Structure 1
Amino acid sequence: MTGSVQQSTLLYRRLLQYVRPYGKVLAFAIGAMILAASTEPLFPALMKPLLDKGFNGSGEQHLYRYPLFIVLIFLARGIFGYVASYCMNWVSNRVVCDIREVMFERLIRLPLGYLHSNPSSRLITRIASDVNSVAAAATSVITTVLRDSLVVVGLMSWLLYLNWRLTLLMGLIVPGIAIAIRGFSKRLRTMTRASQETNATIIQVLQESIDGNKVVKVYNGEPQELARFGKANNDLRRFAVRQNVAAAATTPIVQFFASIAVALVVYIALLQSSGQQTTVGGFVSFITAMLMLLAPIKSLTDVNAPLQRGLAAAESVFTLLDQKPEDDRGTVTLARAEGRLRFEGVRFRYPGAEREALAGIDLDVAPGQTVALVGPSGSGKTTLANLLPRFYHLNEGRILLDGHELEELRLESLRANLALVSQDVVLFDDTVAANIAYGALRGASRADVEAAARAAYAHDFIMAMPQGYDTQIGENGVRLSGGQRQRLAIARALLKNAPLLILDEATSALDSESERQVQAALEHLMEDRTTLVIAHRLSTIEKADKIVVMEHGRVIEQGSHAELLAQDGLYAKLYKMQYALEHTA
């Protein structure tokens, strides 16, 4: 239990770091809370003179004061409460905004391996949902604890002043309340963690069902998806019910102990009243203050639920923030590379994989040379290409660009010299122009964007769209054909004008007509660049300067198209098979 308390304390302290920049507004809110809380004891304090003097005719000339004081008390409480609430909500929303930005910044700088090994739904849930609970723990909980603690202190001070013996008697309920809160805190935290995981599962099911909608419909997968969603949805309901049970159980327990204290106090107060030890005003004032204590005490016990939810969410948030970003230990800034590549004894194994994806690759690529990587699926072609932008780090060996090891280069500098076009084109729900001039290219002129589109054979179909280059293309270019999406990706690469180019099966998913258009665009793109082509259709890479044949993570053949056919090895076998299939079709 002590370790859990220490962990919670550390989490909360870390959480409060995001509140610190808004300390002035928070202090103003706390000041308003103090003033609002200070008005709470005034009402029961007013009961004593009101009953003792107001009803015995001794102060008729001042009777107007009592109703006036009541109005002023509630007016002051309302004004100060509003100011405190507004300021705390302002701080809360700023904290949510700040944490989300920090999380997203960390997310987009995480290594590719981490993103591939964690469901995107869980990462989305952390940023979109968990942060709200964190903010509640950082601000709303503070509001409740400070405000209601101050109210309790004020009312208890008045009670001690009226009758310290009876007040101390009320202290008997404190241990029972503390035990109840402690007993349910652990269960609340556990159920919150489970709810967060289940919520991520729901988002995953939704995301997969939407993205794979065609497959779901064609294969009649609706019942299966409904069953998956129903299970996750029902699990979330069960966890929510268990959270509510744990949160709600504290209220009747607290009220039970409070009722015992009230009963004892009333009994003893009545005995004192019969013995002339207290006045009617004093008794009513004491009972009023004591009853007013129930609301802030209940709020203080109820705050445990959002606190535990917030701490569980904080664990999730900080798990993401504690992940190490991409390793950028390089110190060398490369201006524009010549494009000379050298792979020396390159070995790489994916985490948890049984065998190496690359098992000792040696390869030289001259500036401006086009090198095609071919081979069966799983031979290591894409892995080799993914090492160039340093999406992954080598286990052994080294890769040199213009004589510099890739690890020596700053990531920004390295990637500024690279362009990528793959079969999985990524477009954004923005305009055509914004998708071509993306990222570091966003400052490009419209003339440069149009020139890149013309070179990619994309200008004509763009101008046929409703708003031309200003047309919104939908999520991942859903309103475009496969060939059109591919040509926009090529236009983006042309606009970047990087000396190194990676083409990852850029035409494998296209029909013959689209492939011819894209291939023509690619020939423009490949001019005067060092190009690595990962090819599925061998007919598209016959003109490559060098063809590298890979199998089981090794280079087994290399040479020109004619040389490899003459060797009659694996390349010749693969080429003859594809040739026969294409001509049979």
Structure 2
Amino acid sequence: MKLPFARRTARTRQALFRPVDRENLRWLWTRYLRTRAPWLLLVLLLIAGQGLVYQQFLSLTENGLRVIFEEGAVTQLARVCVLVFVLFVLRGVLSYVTPRLTAWLAANAVLAIRKDLIAHLLTLDLSWFERTTTGEIILRLVNQAEGMARFIGQSTANAVRDAVTIVIVSGYLIWKAPVLFTVAIVVIPVIVLVMQFVSHRIKAIQTRAQAALGDYMTDIEEMSNGMRTVKIAGQEDRERDRLFAASTGIRDLAVRLQATQALAMPSIDMVSAFVFVLVIGGGGYMVISPEYAFDAADLITFLLGLVILFDPLRLLAGYFAQLQSSMILLDGLRSLLRETPTIADRPGATDRFDPAGDIRLEGVGFAYDPEHSLFDDLDMVMPGGRTTAIVGATGSGKTTVLSLMTRLYETQAGRVTIDGIDIRDIRVRALRDAFSVVAQDIVIFNASIWENIRYVRPDATDAEIRAAAEAAEIAELMDRRGDAPLGPKGSQLSGGQKQRIAIARAFLRQAPIVLLDEATSALDQRTEEKVQTALRRLGQGRTTIMVAHRLSSVVGADHIYVMDAGRIIEEGPHEALMAAEGLYAAMFRSQKQSYG
């Protein structure tokens, strides 16, 4: 979907600055740069000083030429030479201080942007992360933010310096020879047309390049995460070809972008050549003609001024070409901040509720896809302080029930209550603090087991972490590994070891409601029996809700819901469901035979 859009963009004529570009620049200035205005003013003064050096250089050069042409004294020439040297030493100092200061300002501005992006990112709904690739997120937080640092800092500072130099030197040349300068600037409309043409092409190519880079990052993540499957299936060549093709596409777009940006420089050079011809011809006539008070020193100084003028003009043209790419980066960053969470605290939401109360789903309707409803008028009751199990085939909606209770998703009809209070009337943070979750999708960080357990309660004491590890049967492995990291995503652990870390976290968190989502699915039968004992201790005096595929783990539940395609088809304790000889009984006997 992205590529056709980029192609349509390439065919559409755009203004140098679109309305969204102007709005984004206002946002950047108002939120991140205006508070640094005093420092920016200092930078501007330093830059103006660099421009004045050139103007004084031209004036001294003219004086030096007159000393030479008019047979002046050697001391006068020496004085001019010393002053020119002093001027360029001053410019050297300013050229060192200015980028240091601008780099510091840009780094702090981009740090503030990154902090806002990260803070906002963590407020977004789970559904946003499920439809957004990791590559897109990394692209914004890393590549685009770094690109903005260069834009805000050195690139813009240099462009301002070049613009100030152009204004000051142009003013001096106008004062020296207004007619000749007028002849020189007749080609400015050509420069404007060239820059407009280049900017249209750059915006289109940059949009496609950013999309391609985001897809490339996603491809790398998929390859890395699926390396076990890649190796077993012998698909290394296929993955290599896929990433090679993506890399080639990025290279082609990068070459096209650079080629388009490069159009600006030779265009300015061609225009400069035409201007020099006009000035040499016109200026030479003015020197020869007695009608003008214009001599050879004036002409040489004027030509030198044009040389000085056209160099920053070329650089400024290049900056405006790069500016179009920066506008795409800026809009990419701000597009993340435009995303708004749909799950948030209602006005007047409370922290006060009894998490030990009954949890009810009343007439709940929900759909991931508007055209395919998952739940229609779903009713369930999870009594407080008791253990409730939810079983059923894959895709029946078991885990979705847990997600709705914790407001990872919002119900689209009906309501979920705890102790009679609609969970939408409870502050999100207070609601989620009431839950401990042991899920089948376990997040393991590349740190020690100790640090992984401690993650859910950074303020926990060593004794509490130790007790949680022992309760989850992971203490022995924790002692053996010590401070050794577990590898990316816990790659050095087995599935059962990862799940025991998750169980240890639940022990440490000690929340009043425990959610077990396939909590023992990766354990062998012997280990499962040990962990089930630990889980029963964890659930004592707490509301426990179990989602399980292995029915042997739910036998002791006070109440069991059997779901199929988003509907409850059976419910009751284990004995009653077995006696009913329905789906649950058939599934249980089938699994028992399979496990032996």
Into which bin does the TM-score normalised by the smaller protein fall? over 0.9
Query: What residue in structure 2 maps to residue 498 of structure 1?
Result: 511
Kindly provide the amino acid, as one letter, of the partner of residue 398 in structure 2.
Answer: K
Residues 388 and 560, structure 2, Cα contact 8 Å, conserved in 1: yes
- Structure 1 residue 20, shift from structure 2 partner: 2.5
Residues 100 and 131, structure 1, Cα contact 8 Å, conserved in 2: yes
Query: What residue in structure 1 maps to residue 50 of structure 2?
Result: 36
Residues 490 and 525, structure 1, Cα contact 8 Å, conserved in 2: no
Mean Cα deviation higher: 548-557 or 270-279: 270-279
- Structure 1 residue 520, shift from structure 2 partner: 3.0
Query: What residue in structure 1 maps to residue 187 of structure 2?
Result: 173
- Structure 1 residue 57, shift from structure 2 partner: 3.0
- Structure 1 residue 335, shift from structure 2 partner: 6.3
1:510 aligned to which of 515, 523, 526? 523
Deviations 1:17-66 (A, max 9, x none): 32223323222212211111211112222121101124533333333211
Measured in 1, the distance between the counterparts of 2:401 and 2:122 equals 22
Residues 445 and 490, structure 2, Cα contact 8 Å, conserved in 1: yes
Query: What residue in structure 1 maps to residue 339 of structure 2?
Result: 323
Secondary structure of residue in 2 paired with 1:53: helix
Measured in 2, the distance between the counterparts of 1:2 and 1:191 equals 16
1:188 aligned to which of 178, 182, 202? 202
| Counterpart check, 1:457 vs 2:470 | no
Distance 1:430 1:509, change over 3 A: same
Measured in 1, the distance between the counterparts of 2:447 and 2:353 equals 30
What are the residue-to-residue correspondences of 1:79-158 with 2, within 5 Å? 79-158=93-172
With the length of structure 2 as denominator, give the TM-score of the two structures. 0.94
- Structure 1 residue 91, shift from structure 2 partner: 1.3
Kindly provide the amino acid, as one letter, of the partner of residue 280 in structure 1.
Answer: A
Measured in 2, the distance between the counterparts of 1:202 and 1:461 equals 38
Mean Cα deviation higher: 512-521 or 316-325: 512-521
| Counterpart check, 1:20 vs 2:31 | no
Query: What residue in structure 2 maps to residue 305 of structure 1?
Result: 321
Residues 340 and 401, structure 1, Cα contact 8 Å, conserved in 2: yes
Query: What residue in structure 1 maps to residue 587 of structure 2?
Result: 574
| Counterpart check, 1:216 vs 2:233 | no
Residues 504 and 533, structure 1, Cα contact 8 Å, conserved in 2: yes
1:433 aligned to which of 428, 442, 450? 450
Secondary structure of residue in 2 paired with 1:427: coil
Deviations 1:155-201 (A, max 9, x none): 11111121110001111121000000001102101111111111112
1:543 aligned to which of 556, 570, 577? 556
Query: What residue in structure 2 maps to residue 341 of structure 1?
Result: 359
| Structure 2: unaligned runs, 5 residues or longer | 1-13
- Structure 1 residue 4, shift from structure 2 partner: 5.2
Secondary structure of residue in 2 paired with 1:7: helix
Cα-Cα RMSD = 1.6
Measured in 1, the distance between the counterparts of 2:80 and 2:358 equals 91
Kindly provide the amino acid, as one letter, of the partner of residue 360 in structure 2.
Answer: R
- Structure 1 residue 521, shift from structure 2 partner: 2.7
Query: What residue in structure 2 maps to residue 486 of structure 1?
Result: 499
1:232 aligned to which of 216, 234, 246? 246
Distance 1:461 1:335, change over 3 A: farther
1:365 aligned to which of 375, 382, 386? 382
Query: What residue in structure 1 maps to residue 63 of structure 2?
Result: 49
- Structure 1 residue 310, shift from structure 2 partner: 1.1
Measured in 1, the distance between the counterparts of 2:330 and 2:240 equals 32
Measured in 2, the distance between the counterparts of 1:406 and 1:344 equals 12
- Structure 1 residue 501, shift from structure 2 partner: 1.0
Residues 111 and 391, structure 1, Cα contact 8 Å, conserved in 2: yes
- Structure 1 residue 2, shift from structure 2 partner: 5.0
Secondary structure of residue in 2 paired with 1:443: coil
Measured in 2, the distance between the counterparts of 1:59 and 1:486 equals 91
1:198 aligned to which of 191, 199, 212? 212
Kindly provide the amino acid, as one letter, of the partner of residue 34 in structure 1.
Answer: A
- Structure 1 residue 326, shift from structure 2 partner: 4.9
Distance 1:392 1:315, change over 3 A: same
Measured in 1, the distance between the counterparts of 2:35 and 2:462 equals 41
**Corresponding pairs, count:** 578
| Counterpart check, 1:384 vs 2:401 | yes
- The percentage of counterpart residues that share the same residue type is 29
Secondary structure of residue in 2 paired with 1:371: strand
Residues 343 and 407, structure 2, Cα contact 8 Å, conserved in 1: no
Query: What residue in structure 1 maps to residue 275 of structure 2?
Result: 261
| Counterpart check, 1:398 vs 2:412 | no
Measured in 2, the distance between the counterparts of 1:338 and 1:74 equals 77
Mean Cα deviation higher: 25-34 or 531-540: 25-34
Deviations 1:522-547 (A, max 9, x none): 22222221111111110111110001
Kindly provide the amino acid, as one letter, of the partner of residue 418 in structure 2.
Answer: L
Deviations 1:304-349 (A, max 9, x none): 2321111101111111111013522241103662142111111101
Secondary structure of residue in 1 paired with 2:389: strand
Query: What residue in structure 2 maps to residue 332 of structure 1?
Result: 350
